[in-house]
Structure 1
Amino acid sequence: MFFKQVKHWFVARASSARWRPIHDWAESRNAHFRIAKDGRGFLIEQPKALPGSLRIEWGPSQRAYIEGNELRMRCELRLHGDLQMMVLCRTLMDQLESAVFEAYTDTLKTRVDTDTPEEMRWLVMFPKFTQISSKLVRQRFGAVGVNKELVAAWLEGDLSEVLAQASQDLLPEGQPFVLMTMRGNAYLRTAMAVPSLQSIQGLVKVLELACRELQKVNEKLTDRGPWPTTTSIAWQSSRPDEDPAQA
C-alpha cells in the first residue's frame, strides 16, 4: 500500500508539471483544477461560468467507442426537458448505427435498451436532421433530435459555422466527437490522447457557443410550450440517474 501511494504521488507530481499551462488557464477563469487520485487525469470545475456552471474532465475514456483517453465537458443550463438533441461526427455516427443495429437485432434487446448509452439509443429513437445547409457540416457531422424543428433551430446558424471551422483542425475527420443536450444540460465528449491547452480552449468555445444557441432555442420552446415530439420511446428509455459526463 505504501509503495502504491508513493507511485501515485510521483505520477501526480509529474502530471502536475505537464499540465501546468492548463492549470494556469483554469485559474485565470476562476476555475478549480485538481488532479485525479490516480494521477491519470484531471478535473476543472467553474461554478460561476457563463452561460452555465462548467465541468471539464480529461482521463481514461468512459465510452467504448473512444479508445484511450477522452475530454468530456458538461455545462449546466437548466433547459426545457424536451431539448434532447445530438450532433456527432459522421464517422462515429456510422459506426454507432452499425453497432446498435446489430445489438437491436440480437435476442438481448431488453438488455440493449438499459445498457447502451443515449448516444447509441438516440440513433434508433430519434429522426435524423438531414437538411443541414452547410455542405461541409453535412459531410462531416450528423444530427438527430426529438424534433427536427428543434435541431434546425439549434444547428442552422452560428453553431454550424463553428462546427465547420472546427472540422478543419480542432476536430479532424474520424476523431470521435459528440455534442448533445438533455436533462437541461449540454455535454461534449471527444477523443484526446494527450491534453492540449489549445484544443481544450477551442472545444470550450465550441461548447459555449452551442450553449448560447441552446438558450435561444429554449426561449422559443418556453414561449410556445412543449413542442410536439416524434417518438414516445425517448421518455421511456431515458435514465434520469445517469450523467453522461461521469458515466
Structure 2
Amino acid sequence: MFDRIKKAFLRDSRDHPDSVLAQAHGPVSEWAATRGMTFSGAALGSSMTMQGKVGNRPWRMELGRPTRDYISGEELRARAEIAVSDQVGAMVINRPLKEVLERRAYSMITDTLQTTADPRLPEEMRWLAMYDEIGWEGPGDAFWTRYAVLSDTREHALAWVDDHLVKQLMSWPEPSPSAQVPFMIVLLRGKCYLRMQYAPPAMGTLDHATDIFVSACENALRAFRK
C-alpha cells in the first residue's frame, strides 16, 4: 500500500532525464546571493547547499537527491541550530504524507513477522507517535484539510504556528505545490527542520519554502528562546 501511495506523489525523477539541479545551478546561486546566503554546489549539479543566519543563528539548506523514500525527484531540506528550549516539540505536516506514514507504521505493527524495528524507518514516524494532533479556530477548514499540526502541548502549537505562518503555508506562488507534495516543518531538540519534495521545481517554490522556514525559526526564537 505504501508503495502505491508513494508513486502517486507527482512524477518520479526518472521522468526528467536532464537533472533539475544541473539546469538550476546558476539561477539558484544568484538567488542565494540576493538573500545574503553563501552557496556551494557540485560541479555536475548533483547537490546544492545554501547557508545563512536567522536571529544570528546559523541555518543550512540543501537541494539534492532525496534522503527519504516517500520523496520523488529532488528534495529540499533545511536545518537551523536556533538553540531554543529543547523541551518544545511540534510539527506541521501535509495530511497525505501523514496518512502515508501512519499506514506504514500500522502495517509494521500488525505484521506478525516483523519482530524488530526497521532501522531505516524515518524519524518522523516516531514523531507522529510522540505528539498529539492539535486544532484550533482561526486557520480555516482549507488549512486543516491540507495540513496537520502536532505538538507536545497545545500552547506550544499556538505559539509557534501563528497567523502569518498559516498564511504563508496557504499562499504558495504559482505554479504551486499541490496538497499531495510531501512537506513538513519540525521544531525539535532546540532545532528547526524543513523537508519537502521540490515540486514544482521552480524558483518560486524555493523562495517561498525559504520564507516559511525562516518564519518558523523566528517564531520559535520569539516564543521559546532559552
Q: Shorter-chain TM-score category? A: 0.7 to 0.9
Q: Which amino acid aligns with 2:135?
A: T
Bigger helix share:
1
Of 75, 82, 87, the match for 1:82: 87
- Check if 1:25 corresponds to 2:27: no
**How far apart, CA to CA, are the structure 1 residues paired with 2:205 and 2:89?**
26
Instruction: Name the structure 1 match of 2:102.
Output: 97
How far 1:202 moved relative to its partner?
0.9
Computing the radius of gyration from Cα coordinates, the structure with the larger value is 1
Paired with 1:167 and 1:51, the residues of 2 have a C-alpha distance of 28
Matches within 5 A, 1:227-238: none
Choose the corresponding residue for 2:153, options 118, 143, 147. Answer: 147
Distance 1:193 1:171 in 2: 6
Question: Which residue of structure 2 lines up, in the alignment, with residue 207 of structure 1?
Answer: 213
Conserved in 2, the CA contact under 8 Å of 1:143 and 1:151?
Answer: yes
The count of aligned residue pairs is 206
* CA distance 1:40–1:109, shift in 2 (3 Å): same
Question: 2:9 maps to which residue?
Answer: none
Encode CA deviations 1:28-62: one digit per residue, 9 max, x unaligned. Answer: 3332211136631211122x444531211111100
More displaced, 99-108 or 207-216? 99-108
3-state DSSP of counterpart to 1:68 = coil
Q: Does 1:186 align with 2:192?
A: yes
**How many Å apart are 1:193 and its aligned residue?**
5.1
Q: Secondary structure at the match of 2:57?
A: coil
- CA distance in structure 2 between the aligned counterparts of 1:160 and 1:174, rounded to whole angstroms: 18
Q: Which moved more, 1:134-143 or 1:32-41?
A: 32-41
Partner of 1:216: 222
Moved more, 188-197 or 92-101: 188-197
Instruction: Provide the secondary structure at the position in 1 that maps to 2:171.
Output: helix
* Distance change >3 Å, CA 95–CA 64, structure 1 → 2: same
Structure 2 residue aligned with 1:130, among 131, 135, 156?
Answer: 135
Shift of 1:178: 0.8
Distance in 2 separating the partners of 1:208 and 1:156: 13
- The alignment yields a C-alpha RMSD, in angstroms, of 2.6
Q: Counterparts of 1:74 and 1:27 in 2: how far apart (Å)?
A: 19
Q: Any conservation in 2 of the 1:83–1:150 contact (CA below 8 Å)?
A: yes
Q: Is the 8 A contact 2:81 2:191 kept in 1?
A: yes
In structure 2, runs of 5+ residues without a counterpart are 1-17
115, 119, 125: which one aligns with 1:120: 125
Q: Percent identity?
A: 27
Conservation of the 8 A alpha-carbon contact between 1:178 and 1:188: yes
**Residues 18 and 163 of structure 1, relative CA distance in 2, 3 Å threshold:** closer
Secondary structure of the 1:45 match is strand
